[in-house]
Amino acid sequence: MFEPRTCGKEKTLFNSDIIDEISKVAEIASAFMTSESNNAIVLSGCGTSGRLAFMTARSFNQVVPGQKFSYTIAGGDKALFTSQEAPEDDRNAGVQDLIRVTGGKEKVLFIGISVGLSAPYVAGQLDYCMDKLDKYTPVLVGFNPVNLARNIPIHGWEKTFRDVATRLEKMTSQGKTFLINPVVGGEAITGSSRMKGGSVTIVILQTIFTMALSASVTSSNDSMTSSEMCKAMLETYQKTCQLFYASASSALSSMITNASESFKQESSIYNVGSDGSAVMGIIDATECPPTYGATLDDIRGFILGGYDEFNNAEGDIRCMGEHFKIGSKDLAELLKSRGHKYKDTIIVLIMASSVNVFVEISGLFERSEKELALPTYLTDVFVISMDLSEVKSSVASLLTPSGIKRHIDSLIEICSKWIFNAISTGAHICIGKVLHNYMVDLKVSNRKLFHRSIGIIQRFCPTLSETEATDYLLQSIYGTDDVELVKNNSIQQHIQQATPQDRVVPTAIVMGSKRCLYAHACQLLSNHHVIREALSSIVTS
């Protein structure tokens, strides 16, 4: 994540060109944040990237007057709690959402985030902004070189993401747009861009706006350029990351064990916290269904204060269903309604001090009549003690007091992300959802995931051509042995059919490796509860 300045010929986060680009965007953001005119800063993305756009807009609206920040996320606020992968493919929806939030604004700083440089929703928005540079200043944040941006057709459009990124790269060289695309290295779980990709997204966004918040200090500080300040800020994340893993590893491993025990006993994990840490817990829970084929009940997130604290654009949307209830009171109700057979893990993040102590409490608990309020039923207490005072003093002279506070909050939020991500990832690995670092039981719920699934099938069935792997995927999606019946359906139809289904990719892998019929593959898989064991034994036997 925080690699040296170059990786091969690619630029990493600490490369001076990347630092300069972040600094330039921070200067523009600062002008937007202090201007009295009717302008806006809009952050946008799909899935995790959209949720982090929301999170950043939420945090900075708390400290910057005038509610300057807004966000768009494919699928709307529903996507903050339940994965809405299909709207990611809709570049028109992206444009319409952008027009809606920027109507009546004079100038807009638009930051489009797509970790893999792939989301059509964001591509549409960036292209629209590039056509209207008198109003919009577009910035693309992602973690691929432009030549590796997605080059697959976007439904109903003649451009691909790569075309849009190439156009933006050209305009960036003319100083009209901005491109922040360091290479951050492969994800530990292939394709799980919520991990490193998500973390570096936060690092970049928070650095931009915290620097902007403190621009008055930079301009009065003759001894330091804004690029030097940016580098110093990035180093505080690097240092925090080192401190975090040095202090948290053993506690994390116990928490992962607790959480996986819950899963093994068909029980759930509940992430709870306050403010930004709680938002991280909710985001973490939301990502598990598309990443691991988890159910919406397997992991859920809750925030103290519910929607009043969450501050999303559409407000209280609990009327959409059970999984949109996010308050700690909702959790208390839920726990009351669950029977004694459940062995849920509740992870409550509590900050003992905002600067140097970071406490985590988790409990694999047994229920009793008294267990109605947090945190009486917590059983295991894990203390992760980190001294951030050195980190704080390294930025003390660079930031305003509100900048320092925001920066420390941001460091705590990123540590919260690492805790929640480690537990949910670790627990899913323990129950066999990952094979050779591939999340083999993913949902085939949008174009990107459709193409990724074909790659995963080929990875485990190396003798299959791309066409054969696609055929097996289609047979699995439609539950048929006659691919000719479904081959001519559109990718959109394939995705619609696949989205509600379980074990689509594992079934296709078994069919491909055994060259067997659909029913036989299902029967072979049904003999195993754990996908990793099933595939290891079936595919290698």
Q: Is 124 in the site for ligand F1P (CB under 6 A)?
A: no
CA dihedral of residues 431, 435, 437, 443 (deg, nearest 10): -80
Please state, in angstroms and rounded to a whole number, the distance separating the CA atoms of residues 449 and 405: 39
- The least distance separating ligand F1P from the CB of residue 503, rounded to whole angstroms, comes to 18
Tokens standing for residue 431: 């129950």
Site mask, ligand F1P, residues 415-454, x = CB under 6 A?
---------------------------------x------
Give the total of residues touching ligand F1P (CB under 6 A).
17
User: Min. distance of Cβ 27 from ligand F1P in angstroms?
Assistant: 25
Q: Which residue has the tokens 């909710």?
A: 282
Nearer to ligand F1P, 47 or 506 (CB): 47
State which residue, 150 or 392, has the beta carbon closest to ligand F1P: 150
First to last CA, the chain: 37
Q: Tokens 């609206």 label which residue? A: 61
Least distance from C-beta 49 to ligand F1P, angstroms?
4
Q: Which stretch binds ligand F1P (CB under 6 A): 115-123, 274-282, 313-321, 499-507?
A: 115-123
Our finding on whether 290 is near ligand F1P (CB under 6 A) is yes
113 vs 391, beta carbon nearer ligand F1P: 113
Smallest gap from Cβ 98 to ligand F1P, in A, equals 16
Alpha helices in 214-269 (DSSP H): 215-220, 226-264
Q: Cis peptide leading into 290, omega within 30 of 0? A: no
Nearest to ligand F1P of 194, 392 (CB atom): 194
- Closest distance between ligand F1P and the C-beta of residue 434, in Å? 15
Rounded to a whole number of angstroms, the minimum distance from the CB of residue 101 to ligand F1P is: 19
d(CA 288, CA 421): 10
Apex CA 505: angle with CA 444 and CA 270, to 5°?
65
Figure out which of the listed residues 11, 24, 107, 194 binds ligand F1P, where binding follows CB under 6 A. Answer: 194
94 vs 290 by CB, closer to ligand F1P: 290
* Single-letter amino acid code for the residue at 360: E
Region of 72 (left: φ > 0; alpha: ψ -120 to 50; beta: rest) is beta
| Of residues 24 and 448, the one with the C-beta less far from ligand F1P | 448
**Contacting residue, 115, 294, 408, 422, with ligand F1P by CB under 6 A:** 115
User: Which residue's CB is nearer to ligand F1P, number 215 or number 449?
Assistant: 449
Q: How far is the CB of 285 from ligand F1P (least distance, A)?
A: 13
Handedness of CA 112, 115, 117, 119 (dihedral sign): negative
CB-CB contact of 486 with 478 (8 Å): yes
Closest CA to 336 of 374, 363, 372, 387: 372
Of 123 and 386, CB closest to ligand F1P: 123
Q: What is the DSSP string of 308-323?
A: HHH--TT---GGG-GG
Residue 277's SS3 state is helix
Q: How far is residue 68's CA from residue 481's CA, in Å, rounded to a whole number?
A: 55
Q: Give the range of 6-14, 61-69, 114-122, 314-322 binding ligand F1P by CB under 6 A.
A: 114-122
Least distance CB 52 / ligand F1P (angstroms): 9
Q: Which is nearer to ligand F1P, 233 or 444 (CB)?
A: 444
Nearer to ligand F1P, 50 or 512 (CB): 50
* Residue least distant from ligand F1P (Cβ): 47
- Tell me how far, at minimum, the Cβ of 394 lies from ligand F1P, in Å: 30
* 8 A C-beta contact, residue 98 and residue 126: no
3-state helix, strand, coil split of the chain in percent (to 5) is 55, 10, 35
Nearer to ligand F1P by Cβ, of 189 and 423: the residue is 189
Does 116 engage in binding with ligand F1P (CB under 6 A)?
A: yes
Q: What whole-number distance in Å separates Cα of residue 427 and Cα of residue 504?
A: 21
Residue 119 binds ligand F1P, judged by CB under 6 A: yes
How many angstroms separate the CA atoms of 339 and 323, rounded? 19
Which letter does DSSP use for residue 29 in this model?
A: H
CB of 437 to ligand F1P, least distance (A): 15
* Shortest Å, Cβ 36 to ligand F1P: 34
Q: Which two tokens stand for residue 498?
A: 């696949």
CA distance 307 to 349: 18
Give least dist CB 530 to ligand F1P, A: 23
Q: Which of residues 146-185 bind ligand F1P (CB under 6 A)?
A: none
With contacts defined by CB under 6 A, name the span among 108-116, 349-357, 363-371, 499-507 that binds ligand F1P: 108-116
**SS3 sequence, 55-76?**
HHHHHHHHHCCCCCEEEEECCC
Q: Is 248 among the residues that bind ligand F1P (CB under 6 A)? A: no
d(CA 2, CA 245): 14
Task: Give least dist CB 116 to ligand F1P, A.
Answer: 4
| Dihedral angle computed from the Cα positions of residues 490, 495, 500 and 503, in that order, rounded to the nearest 10 degrees | 110
Cβ atoms of residues 384 and 247 within 8 Å: yes
Query: According to CB under 6 A, which residues from 32 to 61 bind ligand F1P?
Result: 45-49
Strands 136-141 and 178-180: parallel
Query: Which residues of this chain interact with ligand F1P, rule CB under 6 A?
Result: 45-49, 85, 88, 114-116, 118-119, 193-194, 287, 290, 448
